[in-house]
Amino acid sequence: MTKDILTPDMTYIKLRGEKNFKQFFTGFIELLQSKFEQIEVHGNNCSYKYFNCGQIHHPHNPNWKAFQHLWDYCERTGYDFFEVRDLIVKRIGHKLTCECQLVDGGKERRRLELERTFGVDFGEPGNREVDVV
């Protein structure tokens, strides 16, 4: 059963607050984690997990539906899809090609790969073994 969809303005008004957005976004992330395949990588000194949609992100791929789960989740929760997508992009600070980028652990995965390659923790600024001066 779908709810009535709010207008883009009402969607923005309801989700601009931290509490409502966090509740919506947490539910969406949990949905993505249940829908996508979890990949486990085991290396010499580290191991990590991430989620992937399993499709090549290209518009000519007929099996790839970039924001299908967000569309369905917005219909269930009654929010405007396009406004929600714009709010998510604004909050995370970069454009998304596919919703799997929200749960792929890209930043952490890149940090671990750099650590494995160079033997140095490239963590957050101020918490690194070696910091850039």
Q: In this predicted model, what pLDDT tens digit does every residue of 13-42 receive, in sequence order?
A: 999 999 999 999 999 999 999 999 888 877
Q: Is 96 strand, coil or helix?
A: coil
> Within its chain, how far is the Cα of 49 from the centroid?
14
Please write the tens of the pLDDT for every residue from 86-105.
999 999 888 989 998 888 76
Counting residues of the chain whose pLDDT is more than 70, the rounded percentage is 73
Interaxial angle between packed helices 8-15 and 18-35, expressed in degrees from 0 to 180 and rounded to the nearest 10: 100
pTM for this entry? 0.74
Dist CA 11 CA 106 (whole Å):
28
Q: CB neighbours of 100 closer than 8 A, spacing ≥ 6? A: 32, 36, 51, 52, 53
Would you state the pLDDT for residue 29?
92
DSSP codes of every residue in 13-65: HHHSSHHHHHHHHHHHHHHHHHHSEEEEEE-SS-EEEEEE--S---TT-TT--
Can you tell me the distance from the alpha carbon of 66 to that of 64, in angstroms, rounded to the nearest whole number?
A: 6
Beta bridge mates, 39: 50
Going from N- to C-terminal start, the domains of the chain cover 8-53+64-118
